[in-house]
Amino acid sequence: MVRTRRIFSREFKLQVARELEGSKTLAQIVREYEIHQAVAGRWYREYQQYGDDAFKGNGHTYKEDARIAQLERKIGQLTMENDFLKKAIQGTGRNHRRGS
């Protein structure tokens, strides 16, 4: 028997995560919705980390975080280059004045 991969909606995942946060146990939810324990646990962790912003996109939940991290690295690099160039310009100005 071939099992197909089930696709769950964002609303369903949020519902399961909110129920885990409530009074239901993991075992109750797993039996009720017929989902694997690891899946429900992962959904709950993502919900705890991202709140209502969890489960956006088609499996690309972290693309925005990765893009932000990339831009922050770029800002850091440009800041270091800018500081280096400022120091280089200041050094050139001092050497030019000494020669005069």
**Mean pLDDT of successive 10-residue stretches along the chain, which has 100 residues:** 84 93 91 94 90 74 77 96 94 66
Residues 53 and 69 in one domain: no
pLDDT at 58: 64
The domain in which residue 81 lies consists of 62-100
**Can you list the pairs that 34-39 forms with residues at least 24 positions away whose Cβ atoms lie under 8 Å?**
35/8
The CB density around residue 15, as the number of other CB atoms within 10 Å, is 15
pTM of the model: 0.56
- The rounded distance, in Å, linking the Cα atoms of 80 and 78 is 5
Task: Report yes or no on 43 lying in a domain.
Answer: yes
The end-to-end CA distance of the chain, in Å, is 89
Residues 49 and 92 in one domain: no
Residues 27 and 55 in one domain: yes
Task: Give yes or no for a contact between 32 and 38, defined as CB atoms under 8 angstroms apart.
Answer: no
Spatial neighbors of 40 by CB under 8 A, at least 6 apart, are 16, 20, 26, 29, 30, 33
Residues 19 and 36 in one domain: yes
Task: Report yes or no on 2 lying in a domain.
Answer: no
Task: Report yes or no on 1 lying in a domain.
Answer: no
pLDDT at 65: 76
